[in-house]
Structures are given as structure tokens and as C-alpha cells.
Amino acid sequence: MNELDVTHETFYGYRRMVEIGQHLAHLRPRTLERQNVLSHVLTIEPEPAHLSTSTDVFGNEQTFFAFYSPHETLTVTARSRIELLGDRPVDAAASPAHETVHDMLRYRADAPFVPEAEFTFPSPMIPLHREIGDYGRESFTPGRSFAEAATELMHRIHSDFAYEAASTDVSTPLIEAFRGRHGVCQDFAHILVGALRALGFSARYVSGYLLTQPPPGQARLIGADASHAWADVWCPVNGWIGLDPTNDCLAGPSHIVLALGRDYGDVAPVRGIIRGTSAHTLSVGVTVAPVGEEAPVEN
């Protein structure tokens, strides 16, 4: 299995007619060391009056589209084919001590510029909290390898926090999810990133997909998968290391990177503003499957 087909469909049904809508989408997967985008098609219904693409400051492709006539529904469907290029092993033992990594990321006059330091700062959805930093500090004992400490922090988050679907939403503050000890993958990723940044390390939010396998003997359901989120942490020896606290694992061949940013707000798959009504229904369906594998059952 080295090629995957990803279908991501987002549907909005508005309670009343929407007069004007402006939206921004991050739905084209990234071409990176471990993956290559072979094809990508974005379909929007109804057809927007304006559509343009650009690259944001983090290197993600973003699509802006707008409507200036009344409409009652909006369907955005992204179909992508991804070639997987193999995994890159992480040598945690070869990582420098976390104190060394911390010093490399601090500003010092006349010191070499480290671009990864831009992800040490707070962001709108991940402000710095001493409480979260204190939680993370328990993994960073004196002299410990940075990669080993960050990986243990991922294990602790997986163990200490309960995954509860629909227990939070995109507006739930980071500290509320942390104190409640529950959330969804977005919260788990935000907590890991927030703990690392509070300690002066570089971490970024990753939006993407996870290939899931159906139970033995059962067909893969169309739309049964979901978008996923994890964190990248920077180590001078290993580069960016993907840590998935929701599944308690390093990001590997089953993880497909969609977009990279400071937090969810930078890389939301679809977001926008509308005039006419705030009441709507939203449904999202994601299918990730090896090329050629059929999924005949609708979810």
C-alpha cells in the first residue's frame, strides 16, 4: 500500500437563505518528505462567484471562495490521491538533552537564526499557561534526551486525558479542556503543543487524516473516517517529529498531513462568514482508502 485516496466532504444546510458568504479552505494535502500529492480536485456547490488559491505563510495551499447570491446549502468536496514515500525513523536516544534544545531556540544577540523558533510563541488558540507548562515539565528531568522527554509527555497526555467525542468544540478554551481532562484530537494536540511551548520548545499543530482499518470481514464505510490532528515537535537531530497523543504513537505511514500551523485556527479545513442566518446543520464525511479499494456502503 503506497497510494491512498482521500475524500473529504463538508455539507452546510442553512435554516434560512444565505445572502452572502465568504469562505477559506485548507483542503489540499501537503507534499512533504513522507508524502506526495498525485492529484487533487476541489468541487464547490453551488458554484462560487469568486474563487482563488494562494499559499499561506506556513506553506499551505488555501482556497478563498465567495457567494453573492442567495443559497440554502453549501457542499465542499476535496478528492486527493496521495503517494506514501516511506517512514523516517526517529532516533530518540541520539537527540540532544532538552536543555541544549531549549538554549538553541532562545534569542541571543549574534547567534544563528533558527527558523523553527517561530513555533515557540503563543498563538490565538494556544496561549501560554503556567499550569500546562508545569504539567509538561514533569517529563523533562535534568539531562534527559529532548525526544525521549517529548515522547513521554505524549504518553502521559494519552493516559491522563479521556477521548470523548463531542465533549468540546473549536471554541472550547485550551485551559478548560486541560482542567477537564477530556476532549477530542484537536484538544490533545493543543495541550501537547501548549505544554511544549510553555517550556520554550518549538511545536506546531498538524491537521490531517488517519487511515483506519475496518473490522475483519467488513467493508470500508464511505465517510466513516474523520479528519485528525496531532503535533510536530522540533529536534535538531531528528527534525520535525510527529507525535499523536490521541493514539499514543509517533505519526507514521497511516498519517496524512493536510496542513501545518500554529493551532487549529490557522488550518481549519473550511471556515467563513455569512450574512442571512446563523442557524445551520453541518455534516462532514471523510474516507481514506488504498487506491482501488471500493467502499460500497454509504455511511
Domain count, the chain: 2
Alpha helices in 97-184 (DSSP H): 98-105, 130-137, 146-160, 174-180
- Per-residue pLDDT, 257: 97
Q: Beta strand 182-183 with 35-45: parallel, antiparallel or unpaired?
A: unpaired
- Lowest mean pLDDT, pick from 58-67, 109-118, 230-239: 109-118
Domain CATH number, residue 211: 3.10.620.30
Mean of pLDDT over the chain: 92
Residue 50 CB partners (closer than 8 Å, separation 6+): 64, 65, 66, 68
**Which of helix, strand or coil describes residue 204?**
strand
Is 255 within 8 Å of 185 (Cβ atoms)?
no
Q: Cell triple for residue 148?
A: 525521549
On the question of pLDDT at 172 being above 80, the answer is yes
pLDDT confidence of residue 224: 53
Rounded to whole angstroms, the Cα distance separating 112 from 134 reads: 29
- Give residue 1's pLDDT band: very low, low, confident or very high (50, 70, 90): low
Q: pLDDT (tens digit, 9 = 90+) per residue, 52-106?
A: 999 999 999 999 999 999 999 999 999 999 999 987 788 888 899 999 999 999 9
User: Does 107 lie in the same domain as 64?
Assistant: no
C-alpha 235, offset from chain centre: 19
Question: Do 57 and 144 belong to one domain?
Answer: no
pLDDT single digits (tens) 123-157: 999 999 999 999 999 999 999 999 999 999 999 99
User: Is 230 within 8 Å of 206 (Cβ atoms)?
Assistant: yes
The mean pLDDT value for 201-222 works out to 81
- Mean pLDDT, residues 188-205 taken together: 98
Q: Do 215 and 261 belong to one domain?
A: yes
Type of residue at 103:
D
**Helix and strand counts by DSSP (H, E) for the chain:** 6, 17
**Looking up cell 482556497, which residue turns up?**
63
Question: Residues 137, 12: one domain?
Answer: no
Are 43 and 166 within one domain? Answer: no
Specify whether 72 is located in the same domain as 170: no
Burial class (CB in 10 A: 0-12, 13-18, 19+), 145: buried
Residue 216 CA, chain-centre distance (Å), reads 28
Query: 142 — phi, psi (to 5°)?
Result: -55, 130
Higher pLDDT, 278 or 114: 114
pLDDT tens column, 198-208: 999 999 999 99
Radius of gyration of the chain (CA): 20
Question: How confident is the model at residue 298, as a pLDDT?
Answer: 41
Distance CA(204)–CA(189), nearest Å, equals 9
**Domain CATH number, residue 26:** 2.60.40.2250
The pLDDT > 90 percentage for the chain reads 78
Dig out the grid coordinates for 168 from the structure.
468540546
Give the residue numbers spanning the domain of 229: 92-265
- Claim to verify: residue 230 and residue 289 sit in the same structural domain: no
Place of cell 517512514: 87
Residues 118 and 50 both lie in one domain: no
Cα(146)–Cα(139) distance, rounded to whole angstroms?
10
pLDDT in tens, 9-26: 999 999 999 999 999 999
Same domain? For 187 and 78 the reply is no
The angle subtended at Cα 91 by Cα 58 and Cα 248, nearest 5°, is: 70
By CB atoms closer than 10 A (0-12, 13-18, 19+), residue 147 is buried
Whole-number percent of the chain with pLDDT over 70: 95
**pTM: predicted TM-score of the whole model, two decimal places:** 0.92
Cell of residue 277, nine digits: 442566518
209 and 155 in a common domain: yes
Q: What is the pLDDT of residue 107?
A: 85
- The single-letter code of the amino acid at 197 is R
Q: What is the mean pLDDT of residues 231-245?
A: 95
Q: Are 149 and 186 part of one and the same domain?
A: yes
Q: Which amino acid is at 28?
A: R
Residues 202 and 282 in one domain: no
3-state secondary structure of 115: helix
